[in-house]
Amino acid sequence: MLTLNKSFYVFVIIILFLSGLIYAEGTIEWDAVNVRVYVHRISDSNGEYGKPYNLIDSQMDNLKDVYDDFGIYIQWINPEDIDEIMDDAYAVPHPDFDNLFQVNRQPNAIDIYFGSTHSPTVKLGWAGDIPSLKLWVNGSVSENVLVHEMAHCFWLYHTYDDRSREYETYLPHDDWGNSSYWLNCTEYQFGNNPIEYPPTIIATNYMSASPYYCKDSFSPDQSDRMRFRLEEKSFYQNVASECITVTLKNSTLGFSDNLGGYLGLDDYATAASVYMITLISPPDQTSLW
Ligand SMILES: [Zn+2]
% residues pLDDT > 90 (the chain): 37
**194-200 contacts at long range (C-beta below 8 A, 24 or more positions apart):** 198/172, 200/170, 200/171, 200/172
Q: How far is the CA of 46 from the centre of ligand 1 (A)?
A: 31
Structural domain of residue 193, as residue ranges? 157-216
Q: Which residues of 246-266 are buried (b: 16+ CB within 10 A; e: fewer)?
A: bbbbbeeeeeeeebebbbebe
267 alpha carbon – ligand 1 mean position (Å): 43
Residue 202 CA to ligand 1 center (angstroms) comes to 15
pTM of the complete model beyond 0.85: no
Residue 42: which pLDDT band, with cuts at 50, 70 and 90?
very high
Task: Report how far ligand 1's centroid is from the alpha carbon of 84 (Å).
Answer: 25
Domain count, the chain: 1
| Those residues with Cβ within 8 angstroms of residue 83's Cβ, 6 or more apart along the chain or in another chain | 38, 39, 40, 41, 104
The pLDDT score that the predictor gives to residue 289 is 22
* pLDDT tier for residue 30 given thresholds of 50, 70 and 90: low
Distance of CA 208 from the midpoint of ligand 1 (Å) = 8
Residue 168 lies in a domain: yes
Q: What is the mean pLDDT of residues 207-229?
A: 87
Establish if 268 belongs to a structural domain. no
Query: Is 166 inside a domain boundary?
Result: yes
Q: What angle do CA 98, 101, 107 make, to 5 degrees?
A: 135
Kindly give the distance from the C-alpha atom of residue 157 to the centroid of ligand 1, in angstroms, as a whole number: 7
DSSP symbol at 179: G
10-19, 174-183, 196-205, 235-244: segment of lowest average pLDDT? 10-19
The Å distance, Cα 280 to ligand 1 centre, comes to 38
Of the ranges 58-67, 196-205, 277-286, the best mean pLDDT one:
58-67
In this prediction, residue 159 carries a pLDDT of 82
Residue 22 pLDDT exceeds 90:
no
Query: pLDDT of 221-234, one tens digit each?
Result: 898 889 888 877 68
Residue 206 resides in a domain: yes
For the beta carbon of residue 161, count every other beta carbon within 10 angstroms: 16
Let me know if residue 144 belongs to a domain.
no
Q: What is the pLDDT of residue 51?
A: 94
Cβ count within 10 A of residue 230: 24
Distinct helix (H) and strand (E) counts, the chain: 7, 14
Q: Is residue 161 part of a domain?
A: yes
Task: Tell which wins on pLDDT, 247 or 147.
Answer: 147
Residue 279 has pLDDT above 60, yes or no: no
Q: What pLDDT is stored for residue 250 in this prediction?
A: 39
Task: Provide mean pLDDT across the span 116-135.
Answer: 86
Rg (CA), the chain: 21
- The answer to whether residue 208 sits within a structural domain is yes
What pLDDT band is residue 154 in, cutting at 50, 70 and 90? very high
Within a domain: 190: yes
- Residue 176 has a pLDDT of 59
